[in-house]
Structure 1
Amino acid sequence: MEIPENYPKKYWHCHIEVDTGGKKNTSAIFNDLTIKELWQQVVSPWHTHRPFTVDGTIVRDYDKVQKIKITQTEHPQSYYAEQHNASMQRKGIADMATNRRLLPLSKGKDYTHEFLFADLTMNDNEQEKVVSNNKIFIVHGHDEQVKETTARFVEKLGLEAVILHEQANEGKTIIEKLEKHTDVGFSLVLLTPDDVGATVTDKENLKPRARQNVLLELGYMAGKLGRGKVCALKKGDVEIPSDLIGVLYVEIDAAGAWRLQVAKELKVAGLGVDLNNAI
């Protein structure tokens, strides 16, 4: 979905309310975006079902969006705030209740339906992203057996396993390949004990660790897809980085119970998985 050129370039505003399970919905506001910022941060993720952030609020589950509104104004938010303050001052009213950041949402032209709910045309790349929900990106180290077992399991579930080194280079760097091939529905990260390491203060106490590139890609996928769409498969007594606690971990056990656990996580994440195929 390309950024349209026939709309005003600036002073775009977005208000969203999300049900987070509390007594009140979480409310977040964007003010004074450019059309490019609005498209990249809200409209495009909305249509490709990717997580996006509004004023610090992360939106992953679209069913929990209770309200969303997009408007465009002739002036920045501060203009309407100053107008409102001057009006209240003339009337002798000390208005502390009105959220000044919401004023452009009532003053501007409403584009919510046009941008989010109308039948907008997507380009080929974005159509591919929507279809790619059945793709599972597998991050792996040097354990070929675990990689192959995981890939075959993903395919048994009727999903497509994406492994970076199997994709054509096309003259791209590793990072560029990673960016291109990670528009997926979920990521499985294989934490296998391929390295050992220790702290400077305890050099003799070597502990099994995953490869550095695996940890890097784990953080990348958690940031891109959201932690709810990343699952780390842990083999043996491999060290868990404290910075990544909060990402789901599943132990690879000899009995194979990990398969059903992973299949359940994929199903919760919205992928079309038949749990019977995991048994």
Structure 2
Amino acid sequence: MKIFIGSSNSPQSLNDLRQVAMIIEEEGHEPLPWNKQGLFPLGNYALESLRDISLKVDAAILIFNEDDAVWYRSDYALQPRDNVVLEFGLFFSQLGKGRTIICRRGQAKIPSDLNGVVYCNLNKEFKAQATLIEWLRS
């Protein structure tokens, strides 16, 4: 099974991406991290490449991290990078809810339309690994 992994390029997100990719490999699947060489060919639009990728993979994992500080309801909040949220929507629409999941680090603010979505909590590393393995095996 080919599994796309999307994240921001922050150091914490890239570290989480590597950890998730290692779990995917250990379970006998092929991780396809967003920063893999050649995944976004020169001259293509990123969104066009993402659409093409969504047609070629079996599942997707998007890593929501506390990447950007935003002013929200008279206070600051930390939220995932906009492109990661957009990518979740793109892969969700192509692959469906059972094959598109969120791994969340910290208390990143997520869009209200995603409230109630069960996610993998990367703050609890052992539980996160067990949860991902269970998902990969289902």
TM-score (normalizing by structure 2)? 0.86
Q: Would the aligned equivalents of 2:51 and 2:90 in 1 still touch at CA under 8 Å?
A: no
Q: Which residue of 2 aligns with 1:147?
A: 17
Distance 1:228 1:192, change over 3 A: same
Q: Which residue of 1 aligns with 2:94?
A: 224
Q: Which residue of 1 aligns with 2:69?
A: 196
Tell me the secondary structure at the aligned position of residue 31 of structure 2: strand
Tell me the secondary structure at the aligned position of residue 206 of structure 1: strand
Q: Distance in 2 between matches of 1:231 and 1:239?
A: 16
CA RMSD of aligned residues (A): 1.6
Equivalent positions of 1:94-109 (< 5 A) are none
Q: Distance in 1 between matches of 2:129 and 2:43?
A: 36
Is 2:52 the counterpart of 1:180? yes
Higher gyration radius (CA): 1
Q: Give the drift of 1:248.
A: 3.1
Give the counterpart letter for 2:36 in structure 1.
E
Tell me the secondary structure at the aligned position of residue 28 of structure 2: coil
Q: Distance in 1 between matches of 2:87 and 2:125?
A: 28
Structure 2: runs of 5+ lacking an equivalent: none
Q: Give the drift of 1:164.
A: 2.6
TM-score (normalizing by structure 1)? 0.45
Q: Distance in 2 between matches of 1:187 and 1:255?
A: 19
Tell me the secondary structure at the aligned position of residue 198 of structure 1: strand
Which whole-Å deviations, capped at 9, do the CAs of 1:204-246 have from their partners, x for residues lacking one? x111110000000011111110011111011111112111235
Is 2:93 the counterpart of 1:235? no
For these two proteins, the number of residue pairs brought into alignment is 132
Give the counterpart letter for 1:172 in structure 2.
N
Is 2:43 the counterpart of 1:171? yes
Match of residue 162, structure 1, among 17, 25, 32: 32
